Amino acid sequence: MSEQDPQAPEPAPISWEALAAELAATRELAQDRGDEDPAAWDAVAAELAARVADQPLEVPEPPPVPQEPDPDVEPAPEPPQDPTPADVPAGEPAPDEAEEQLELLAPEELRGGLEALLFVMDDPVDEQTLAGALRCPVEQVRSGLAELAEGYDRRRSGLTLRRVGEGWRLYTREEHAPVVERYLVDGQRSRLTQAALETLAVIAYRQPVTRARVSAIRGVGVDGVMRTLLTRGLVHEVGSDPDSGGGLYATTPLFLERLGLASLADLPELAPLLPETSAMLDEHPDS
């Protein structure tokens, strides 16, 4: 075997696959020429052996053998992954985007928004609901409610802001209770005017009836009187007229209670004495 030059580049390795392919090609060439001489094959084998000796042999690595999991060993839990945009339902912002949408409000804007919301709420409202409506952090709403309640108490306002359970609600201050009670009680006990009684009688016998028809029957406007009857709780709106679109009004159970009646059937027989609505409309077409 000849010595190799140490500075000469290393020959490229040959693989078993390449060696087998070369032997097959050489044998096919010998068969085509009709050369089956063993001596020729010995020469080919000697040449290939010399090449294998002079060059490194590339041995392919065996494929990895899959290992079966040990049933006695519990697999390690996978780390939690942050929700991707695909995991967020359509139409809802991602968690980071939802936090970015919350902005701190100016003090006067926060105070005005809280007062407006508390004024229209019939029941105590929690801080999360207020923060969602104002689109600001819950912490700012919590501090704003405390400052608002402290301001009402400091200037002795007629209103007071109280925390009830998990919510907040506006109340009238206790020291003004006699004024409120006097207004409510005296207002209920005050006598109705003649105009109010006439309007109430028309509604009682013609209900459900619109304001225009009541005005036509009485011959005067009844807007102010209707507001009084609505405030007293003697009449209420029950729908709309399909022809004119105006509101239809009828008496309430309080009306029967004040008159001591069990039902509208107990009303006196006064309906035949009232003029027909159609006749009054003919006399007052602009009503």
Identify whether 182 is part of a domain: no
What is the structure's pLDDT at 122?
A: 77
Q: State pLDDT tens for residues 25-72.
A: 766 666 666 655 556 656 666 666 666 555 555 555 666 666 666 666
Closest by Cα among 6, 1, 12 to 58: 12
Identify whether 81 is part of a domain: no
At 63, give phi and psi (nearest 5°). -65, 150
Identify whether 168 is part of a domain: yes
What is the structure's pLDDT at 1?
A: 46
Is the domain of 245 the same as that of 205? yes
First-to-last alpha carbon distance for the chain, in angstroms, is 129
Is the domain of 199 the same as that of 167? no
- The DSSP result for 226-287, as a single string, is HHHHHHHTSEEEEEE-TTT-PEEEEE-HHHHHHHT-SSGGGS-S-GGGSPPHHHHHHH-TT-
Identify whether 78 is part of a domain: no
Identify whether 146 is part of a domain: yes
At 200, give phi and psi (nearest 5°). -65, -35
Last residue of a domain, one of 145, 174, 203: 174
Is the domain of 277 the same as that of 245? yes
Is the domain of 111 the same as that of 45? no
* CATH code, domain carrying 154: 1.10.10.10
By three-state DSSP, how is residue 86 classified? helix
Last residue of a domain, one of 148, 174, 200: 174
What is the structure's pLDDT at 281?
A: 56
Is the domain of 169 the same as that of 195? no
Is the domain of 225 the same as that of 279? yes
Identify whether 69 is part of a domain: no
Is the domain of 157 the same as that of 197? no
Last residue of a domain, one of 41, 58, 75: 58
What is the structure's pLDDT at 158?
A: 92
At 236, give phi and psi (nearest 5°). -155, 160
Is the domain of 147 the same as that of 206? no
What is the structure's pLDDT at 98?
A: 46
| Counted domains in the chain | 3
Q: 165: domain range?
A: 102-174
Indicate the pTM of the whole model. 0.37
Is the domain of 54 the same as that of 114? no
Is the domain of 198 the same as that of 279? yes
Is the domain of 168 the same as that of 195? no
Identify whether 48 is part of a domain: yes
- The low-confidence residues of the chain, meaning pLDDT below 50, are 1-2, 95-99, 287
What is the spatial distance between Cα 186 and Cα 155, in angstroms, rounded to a whole number?
29
Is the domain of 202 the same as that of 132? no
Identify whether 96 is part of a domain: no
